[in-house]
Amino acid sequence: MDINVLVVNVGNSRIAVGAFVAGTLEYVSRVPIAERDTFEQSLKEAWKRFEGMSSEVAGASVNPLVMEGVEHTIKKITGKSVAWVGREIDLPVKVKTRSPEQTGVDRVLVVAAAYEMMQKACVVVDAGTAVTVNLCNDAGEFLGGAIAPGASMMLDALHDNTARLPSVAFAAPSTVVGDSTEQAMLHGVFHGIRGMVKELVEQYATDLGNWPEIIATGGDAETLFKDWELIHAVSPDLLLYGIALAYSNHHIKHGT
């Protein structure tokens, strides 16, 4: 994947920017969607990596309301239009869900990137605003998975829909037993998500006939899964690699 491409992922809460120079990810930045000035600065910093080189911009988005503003900002900073995965750029793997057009492009891309590394059936847990648990088979075909609320969303729901539960920022529990209301909430969310992942992967393994490797990504992946024996690796930039892979494969496929 010897390419020069600036990649952008527009999520529900944040925008990630990455610079692949000769196929190597040399710069990454993540900024909240509301921080437009910070996003512009990140774009400028990333675009510096391509000075004097021929390069393009590729992106993925699950947030259509923000895409137009992002496109405008990218055009202003780089002079380039964004080629979006799923629109101008083909998906890099076959999607075998019942409604492929309704399947989140982010889910497909993280699985494609993981399969590119593993070359066998694998599961990707993407722990961000939502938690998705996604599966591909030994052929690299995206089969589907599960979607659940993310850790912060769960904690916010507990606070917003009860009379006395406090607002708690997500972190790994610091006690063996939840010995305070805050710790009890963190235990419920932390172990609830990990238990869901374990249960789902056991079902996937039964269906596949073998145990798939599990890769974790997303903003909460390190907190949830670091040093957990079930997880093969935590890869925070997996989606950026998926966008770059889709860009590279598309141009190879179409000879451009």
Catalytic positions are 106
- The secondary structure of the chain in percent helix, strand, coil, rounded to multiples of 5, reads 40, 25, 35
82-84 vs 130-136, strand pairing mode: unpaired
56-61 vs 5-10, strand pairing mode: parallel
Structure-token match 């648990």, residue found: 133
**Cα 152–Cα 240–Cα 39 angle in degrees, nearest 5:** 70
Q: Of 36, 18, 35, which Cα lies nearest the Cα of 26?
A: 18
What's the rounded Cα separation, in Å, for the pair 127 and 100? 22
